[in-house]
């Protein structure tokens, strides 16, 4: 979960200095992607039975601090360096693709329901629409 959160926050911090409109779209897309990812991670850890609910939530809340710190690092060291921002985002997208195809997608089968694949298509369409608007 953190392997894509930190690079995303770094790229977002760098983009806030350079491209405010694109940074707003990226913030929205990251938030939409991280909500189900966090829920899925919480549920998996809880069902594994090794930790209690309050302990999991404590550590998830403690990880929130990593985002602004990573954004500050990105704003300070990556601002104006598009090639490095692109490389960081490629790393983050690799983590997301691995998570989706190895973890979430195999578990997303609902009998007689098209909601999981429809959600994926709608998410892609939303990202494409946002890219076209900018």
Confirm if 9 and 71 have CB atoms less than 8 A apart. Answer: yes
Confirm if 26 and 15 have CB atoms less than 8 A apart. Answer: yes
The answer, yes or no, to whether residue 74 has pLDDT greater than 80, is yes
pLDDT digits (tens, 9 = 90+) for 83-130: 888 888 888 888 777 777 777 667 666 677 777 777 778 878 888 888
pLDDT digits (tens, 9 = 90+) for 9-44: 888 888 888 777 778 888 888 888 788 778 878 888
Confidence of residue 58 (pLDDT cuts 50, 70, 90): very high
**pTM metric for this prediction:** 0.71
């Amino acid at each position: 979960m953190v392997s894509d959160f930190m690079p995303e926050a770094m790229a977002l911090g760098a983009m806030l200095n350079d491209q405010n409109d694109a940074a707003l779209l990226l913030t929205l897309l990251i938030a939409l992607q991280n909500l189900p990812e966090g829920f899925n991670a919480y549920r998996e850890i809880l069902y594994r039975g090794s930790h209690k609910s309050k302990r999991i939530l404590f550590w998830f809340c403690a990880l929130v601090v990593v985002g602004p710190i990573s954004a500050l690092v990105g704003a300070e060291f990556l601002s104006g360096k598009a090639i490095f921002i692109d490389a960081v985002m490629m790393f983050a997208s690799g983590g997301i693709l691995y998570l989706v195809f190895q973890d979430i997608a195999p578990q997303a089968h609902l009998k007689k329901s098209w909601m999981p694949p429809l959600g994926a298509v709608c998410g892609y369409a939303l990202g494409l629409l946002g890219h076209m608007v900018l």
